[in-house]
Structure 1
Amino acid sequence: MTKGSALIIGVGPGLGLALAEAFARDGHPVALFGRDAARLDKYASELNAEGRTARAYSVDAADPEGLEAALKRAADEFGSPEVLVYNAALMSPDTPTELDAREFAHTLAVNVTGAVVAARTVLPLLRDGRGSLLFTGGGLALDPSPEYTSLSVSKASLRAYVQSLHKQQQGSDVHVTTVTVGGSIGGDNPRFSPDKLAAAYLNLHQQPQDEWQAELLYT
């Protein structure tokens, strides 16, 4: 049976690209979403050269209308999706007493509101009403940092949203999970290499339904 597409939002040179590669090599057509059109085109071309199916969609996750339109366009071009991965994030240092209101709002727009828009858009498009909605969380949701306040608040908010969505979708054929990454992606610990993390996302998508969970604590 032909696999449905995987929509990967937030594709850059680290985890985002590894996610696109993992799902493409598993047989899913992949749609790559991000702001850097040239970089996305390069990644899609490389995957296509391997015999995979990939397309690039340049969009800002902070633009709700643009993100919704891009996701629907990908569904039109690839057919009904099977997987959504929301990996977009802004990670700027800031403190509780020095937050700039506009920058804080923009961070939340990328890190949280974009995830809400993506989920709301993709849910009714899922192939046969079944599939996986996977979100990249972070350990700052559990242990906030005063040096990365907006990121901490964002990850806590995203975690709450995804767990709420998971509860709403229980009993359906939609697997909703956040991957709470408790380490530095691409750092010295090989467990947190982008490829190994991407394999964990793919494994979540392939889990039997009786093993579905609201959160994977990846530590």
Structure 2
Amino acid sequence: MSTKIALVTGAASGLGLASATKLAQSGHHLCLVDIDAAGLEKAAQHIRNLGSEAVTFCADLGQAENCQEAINSAIEAFGQIDTLCNIAAVMLPARTTDMAQSAFETTLAVNLAAPFYLMQAALPHLIDAHGSIVNVASAVGISAQAYNAAYCATKAGLIQMTKSLAMEYIHEPIRINAVAPGGMMTPLARNMMNVENPDPGLLARTTPLRGLVEMDDVADMVAFLASEKARGHHGSCIVIDKGMCAG
């Protein structure tokens, strides 16, 4: 069996790095994509220490042309791509009346437009490989969160984009799925602290009673959906939120 190739965005830290690690442990070689050059090189060395090959592509995925170039870099390095994991995201919480236009547009560009352009560029290669796409959405794309209108909108949009592409490519040899994690202790989540004097009651509405989600649990699901063991999953959105969206 030939080695599988996965491209993971947001791979320098947090869930992106955890997912890349799980994929390497399951035998994938990796194309690691992030805007953080120093973190990206550390992540690549970590993957190599696990015995997998790793190449890096450092770029701002909020610029559409960089999405095509990211896919090109994987093809140039490995000759194929079997899995695309769209994990990179920004969270810039603010009261709606205080949110800067630049912050709103950046959120849409990185969280929603970039996954679209990456999928658009990768789809022909993924179909040839009978491959898979795993999009990381969020539980707050299902059960919304105060002070986070732009982020919630992009994650809800990514869930529907996943389902739409799954329908469009229902007759093609590709699987397209999403994971919707609840709150995890990642660098991204810490941005919620930037809202001045938030209403704790509103924040509590999206705080799971069982505590934060373990990042490794989500990374395990990303790796599972990337694998052939998930052959029955297409157009699925797997919620991992310790019951937050249950009611």
Q: TM-score, normalised by structure 1?
A: 0.92
Query: Which position in structure 2 is the counterpart of 1:16?
Result: 16
Unaligned runs of 5+ residues in structure 2 are 190-207, 242-247
Residue aligned with 1:103, SS: helix
Identical columns (%): 26
Q: 1:136 to 1:49 in 2, by over 3 A?
A: same
Instruction: Report matched runs for 1:38-77 at 5 Å.
Output: 38-77=38-77
Distance 2:163 2:220 in 1: 22
Instruction: Give the C-alpha shift of residue 183 in structure 1.
Output: 3.0
Q: Which amino acid aligns with 1:181?
A: P
Instruction: Give the C-alpha shift of residue 100 in structure 1.
Output: 2.0
Rg (Cα) greater in structure: 2
Instruction: Report matched runs for 1:53-132 at 5 Å.
Output: 53-126=53-126, 128-132=128-132
Residue aligned with 2:96, SS: coil
* Alpha-carbon RMSD: 2.0
Q: Are positions 1:150 and 2:150 aligned together?
A: yes
Unaligned runs of 5+ residues in structure 1 are none
Q: Are positions 1:6 and 2:22 aligned together?
A: no
Q: TM-score, normalised by structure 2?
A: 0.82
Contact 2:127–2:173 (CA under 8 A) maintained in structure 1: no
Query: Which position in structure 2 is the counterpart of 1:175?
Result: 175
Query: Which position in structure 1 is the counterpart of 2:232?
Result: 210
Contact 1:6–1:30 (CA under 8 A) maintained in structure 2: yes
Distance 1:151 1:2 in 2: 38
Q: Which runs of 4+ in 1 moved over 6 A?
A: 187-191
Instruction: Give the C-alpha shift of residue 190 in structure 1.
Output: 8.1
Distance 2:235 2:138 in 1: 16
Q: Which amino acid aligns with 2:65?
A: E
Distance 2:14 2:224 in 1: 19
> What number of residue pairs does the alignment pair up?
219
Contact 1:137–1:178 (CA under 8 A) maintained in structure 2: yes
Distance 2:127 2:41 in 1: 26
Deviations 1:25-68 (A, max 9, x none): 11111011001111111111122133211111101110111221
